[in-house]
Amino acid sequence: MEYLWNTFEENRAGSAVFAANPHPNFNVTFSYNTLRNNTAAATVLVNQWNGQYCLFPGLSANFQHNIFANPNSTLEFDAQLTNKNTPIDARNSFWGTADEFEITQNRIRDRLFAVTREEVVSFPYLRTANFSDAVPLDEPRKTFQTVGGLKGVVLGNASLPADTYTTIGE
């Protein structure tokens, strides 16, 4: 399924302006779309297909290069898939803000919200609604509290609450 170069503007919806219910046998691509001034619980909802909340191994959900600018929507992106091994790729999108904390904590609902949900990869993101304005890959990052742990990459110094931590990678 491919949804490319569409404009969704001034829509009012209850649960979602665009709901993707991907068949578990197919890739889904939603890219280069502009979603502006819509009002809904979530601008984009990635939900189950026929009772299945996952894509089969080897398949992907690509939501890159989109413009989300919906200040009246509760969320921009609600990921309800539960693969745990197939992150949803939403890199290089504008989320209505250039604040990474705001993006990951308040504009996207994924594994940060519930450990059973799929992760949404949103870094690097766009600082503005211009596709050439991505944050640099070496941009200082933040670490965020998640359900059951921490998420994020820290470049430079970070202060963490007193606790015992296990690091993965460098």
Q: Which tens digits make up the pLDDT trace of 29-38?
A: 999 999 999 9
Tokens describing residue 43: 């601008």
Closest to 65 measured CA to CA, from 35, 104, 20, 108:
35
- Hey, CA dihedral for 145, 99, 6, 65, is it positive or negative? negative
Beta bridge partners of 68: 35
57 vs 126 pLDDT, higher one = 126
The pLDDT assigned to 82 comes to: 73
pLDDT at 54 over 70: no
Q: How many Å separate Cα 60 from the centre of its chain?
A: 14
Report if pTM > 0.85: no
How far is it, in rounded angstroms, from Cα 1 to Cα 75?
23
Q: Which tens digits make up the pLDDT trace of 75-120?
A: 999 988 776 667 889 999 999 999 988 998 899 998 888 877 888 9
Mean residue pLDDT across the chain: 82
Three-state DSSP class for residue 105? helix
What is the arithmetic mean of pLDDT over 162-166?
A: 66
The pLDDT assigned to 146 comes to: 55
Burial of residue 35 (number of CB atoms within 10 Å: 0-12, 13-18, 19+): buried
Q: Are 9 and 17 a contacting pair, CB within 8 Å? A: no
Tokens describing residue 86: 């197939």
Q: How many Å separate Cα 27 from the centre of its chain?
A: 17
Beta bridge partners of 91: none
Q: Which tens digits make up the pLDDT trace of 140-149?
A: 776 555 555 5
What is the biggest distance separating any 2 CA atoms in the chain, rounded to whole angstroms? 47
